[in-house]
Amino acid sequence: MFTDAAGELPSTLSAGRIGIRLIRRRDARVLERLLRENREWLSPWEATYPGVPGPNPGDVSLKPAIKRMRQQHAEGRGVPFVITYDEEVVGQLSASDLSRGALWSASIGYWIAGGHAGRGITPTAVALAIDYLFVSIGLHRVEICIRPENAASLRIVEKLGMRYEGRRLRYIHIDGAWRDHDSFAVTREEVQGSMLGRLERLAG
C-alpha cells in the first residue's frame, strides 16, 4: 500500500474550499445521485464496454466498485479520490495504473458535476492529486488522456501546463465506440516545486 510519510493517506488534501480525499463506501449514494443528475453532461465521456450494453451510471449501487477501488489502493495499484467543494462531494478523481519498476508512473481520470464545472475546482483537485503522487508516493510521471472533443477537460491540462505527447487512435471505448484520445503528461522535474504552485503561477 502506498502511503504518505506518516504511514497513512491523509483524510483530506485541500486548497481553500477545494479538496480531495480517499473514497469511502458511504460516498456511494451521493455519487450515484450525481451520476444520475448529470447523465447528459457526463455520458459523452463515460467508458463503455464493446458489445456489452451496461446499466446507466447511477442506476446500480457503486458500493462494489468502491470496494474494488479501495482494494486496488490497498494493493498499491491506484488511489481513488472524491472531489469536494466546501466538504461536499462534487465529483471523483482516480489515479490508476500505478507502476514501479523502470516506469514510476500513473494515469489520472476525473469527472465533476456539471453545476460545479468551470469554477477552477477540477484543475485544483488534479494539482493536489499530482502533488500527492509525486511527493508522498514518489512517482516520476503522471499522464492524462482526453478525447480531443472534450474542450472542458482540455482546458484543465492547459491550465496545469501539461505537455502534449500525441494522439492515441481508437484508444478507449467511450460512449459506445472506440475513441481517439490526446495524451498529456508531466514529470517531477518539469514541475519545479508543487503542481498547485504551478497552477497558481500560470493563472497569474
**In whole angstroms, how far apart are CA 160 and each of 44, 62, 127, 171, 203?**
23, 30, 7, 23, 9
Rounded Cα distance, 186 and 81, in Å = 20
Average pLDDT of span 154-161:
97
* Mean pLDDT of the residues in the chain: 92
Q: pLDDT-based confidence at 192, cuts 50/70/90? A: confident
Is there a domain that residue 8 lies in?
no
Is 135 a residue whose pLDDT tops 50?
yes
> What integer pLDDT is reported at residue 2 of this predicted model?
38
H/E stretch holding 15 reads strand 13-15
Beta bridge partners of 81: 22, 93
Is there a domain that residue 40 lies in?
yes
Span 44-101, pLDDT tens digits: 998 888 887 777 777 789 999 999 999 999 999 999 999 999 999 999 999 999 999 9
Q: How many domains does the chain have?
A: 1
Is there a domain that residue 4 lies in?
no
> What integer pLDDT is reported at residue 1 of this predicted model?
33
Is there a domain that residue 87 lies in?
yes
Report the alpha-carbon angle 106-156-151, nearest 5.
Answer: 115
**Could you tell me the CATH number of the domain that includes residue 138?**
3.40.630.30
Q: Which of 74, 75, 82 is nearest to 24 (CA)?
A: 82
Is there a domain that residue 170 lies in?
yes
Cβ pair 77, 96 in contact under 8 A: yes
Range of the domain at 19: 13-203
Is there a domain that residue 179 lies in?
yes
Average pLDDT of span 27-44:
95
> What integer pLDDT is reported at residue 201 of this predicted model?
93
H/E stretch holding 90 reads strand 88-96
Q: Which of 66, 83, 111 is nearest to 13 (CA)?
A: 83
Is there a domain that residue 1 lies in?
no
Q: pLDDT-based confidence at 11, cuts 50/70/90? A: low
The overall longest dimension of the chain from CA atoms, in Å, is 47
Is there a domain that residue 3 lies in?
no
Q: What is the DSSP letter of 45?
A: G
